[in-house]
Chain A
Amino acid sequence: MIDPMDLHAFVDGELSSNEADAVKTSMATSPSVAREVEAIRNLKVGLRANVVMPDSADAWKACTRRLDELDKTKRIESLVGRFAPAMCATLFVGILLVGRFSHHSDGRNYSGPDLARAFGTLSTQKATPNGLSKDMARWEDWLIHQSKTSTPDHLTLRGVKTGFIDGIPVTQLSARDQNGDFKIYEVRQPIVLDGMQPLQGHADLQMGMLNGENCVVRQQGQSTLLIVGDRNFEDLATVAAQVTIR
């Protein structure tokens, strides 16, 4: 008795020679087996010869386009993968350089908080045995100059601090007038304070905030003068107009 599946395997050429011989013998003695083998063969051949082959030209073009995209993506990934460390390092160095350049490129560009912190490190000037320190003397001189142009008790010097920010000499003068306390900073190099804007009506002054207080800034020769106080910009501008660094 031949297994029906063996007849299919015989037609498909999947039997060993011994198994195939057994089928052939069975075909010779049994017309129904021979008929079944013939039917399977005819079905197989007929099917293969008569199926519709689909038009594949457009679909193939779409495939090649997908392959192009895949190649492109792979090329980019490969490039990025190969140069990623170098690109990252370059970007990192670039960020550092840009940051440094925009912040302290020549030691003259400061943000308000940075400058306020730096000003906080200034130390009080004391009178020397020979008299006033150079800075105090200079500011006393300024006050005397003030007294010549204003009422003598118009402005009082309350203290002087000096020090350095990024190696630049700085002097801080604490003063008081009829409107209250304020501070004058003389930075002996031109500096730029971030976020400052021109003060209308005062071409030589810029206005902004420093440590929560209003501030006006004026470049004067090789120095920068900052006047800081809890008062409006016009008052600060008035004080700035009276101050001359000599």
Chain B
Amino acid sequence: MLFGKRDLRESFERQAEKVFPAVLGTALRLTRSREDAEDLAQEAIVRAYDAYDRFDGTNFKAWMLRIVTNLYINRYRQRQRGPLLGSLEEEGAIEPVSCESELPDRLLFDNAVGAEIEDALAKVPEDFRMAVILSDIEGLSYQEIADATNVPIGTVRSRLARGRSILRRALETYAIKEGYLKQGADE
């Protein structure tokens, strides 16, 4: 019995350690606070360990990120006051990601350091940011994102499209502000 538990712990730790940077990174991008992110990640690890015997064995990373996201939605987001920006902008036309000036996308990333990209990402409303993080940074499928965020796949598609569009605009704004792009280059 004890050996079984030790094996379980070792197996869990082996898998969890591999995905922990993604867990902490996601927590950090959601909470935007190192302290909250560490608390959230730690709580997610404990919850996952507690439920590890019920893990279906398919995609551990997606399972962990679902726990983190659910914890964040249920706990941390409840602390926030006022309406969520993301919820207000679910409807309406989807802006294209590309711009008419045919601005080379590499310019956006070549000149910005990681922290600046993180800042631009932080400007994306939360629900959209969550979808972008889980898809573009962590590589989850639409179904996995839908499971993690408890929304239909159609909503995931919509949030991703809107989130990427807003992120692109935020990166452009940053590039213009820093002088990498000329004002009005994309107008």
Contact = CB atoms under 8 A, between A and B. Distances in A.
A22 interface: no
Contacts of B5: 71, 74
Contacts of A70: 46, 49-50
A60 B164 contact: no
Contacts of B73: none
A230 B95 CA distance: 104
Consensus secondary structure, chain B interface:
helix
B45 A66 contact: yes
Interface in A66-120: 66-67, 70-71, 74
A53 B142 contact: no
Interface in A22-66: 32, 35-36, 38-40, 42-44, 46-54, 56, 59-60, 62-64, 66
B137 interface: yes
Contact of B161 (A8, A47, A54, A60): A8
A35 B104 CA distance: 10
Contacts of A53: 21, 25
Interface residues of A, number: 35
Interface stretch (B55-63, B75-83, B105-113, B177-185): B105-113
B148 interface: no
B90 interface: no
Interface string B65-98: 0000000000000000000000000000010111
A196 interface: no
A225 B116 CA distance: 97
A5 B94 contact: yes
B13 A67 contact: yes
Q: Give the contact-size bracket for chain B.
A: 35 or more
Contacts of A42: 105-106
Given A54-B21, A67-B49, A38 B98 contact: yes
Given A5-B157, A39-B105, A67-B45, A60 B28 contact: no
A70 B46 CA distance: 8
A153 to B, nearest CB: 85
A59 B98 CA distance: 38
B118 interface: yes
Given A39-B105, A56-B20, A62-B38, A8 B114 contact: no
A234 interface: no
A51 B121 contact: yes
B109 A50 contact: yes
B17 interface: yes
A14 B141 CA distance: 8
Contact of A44 (B50, B136, B157): B136
Contacts of B34: 54
Contacts of B142: 9, 12, 14
B102 interface: yes
Given A43-B167, A50-B114, A53-B25, A60 B17 contact: yes
B115 interface: yes
Interface in A1-30: 4-5, 8-9, 12, 14
Nearest to A39: B98
Interface of A: 4-5, 8-9, 12, 14, 32, 35-36, 38-40, 42-44, 46-54, 56, 59-60, 62-64, 66-67, 70-71, 74
5 contacts: A32-B98, A51-B121, A53-B25, A66-B46, A70-B46
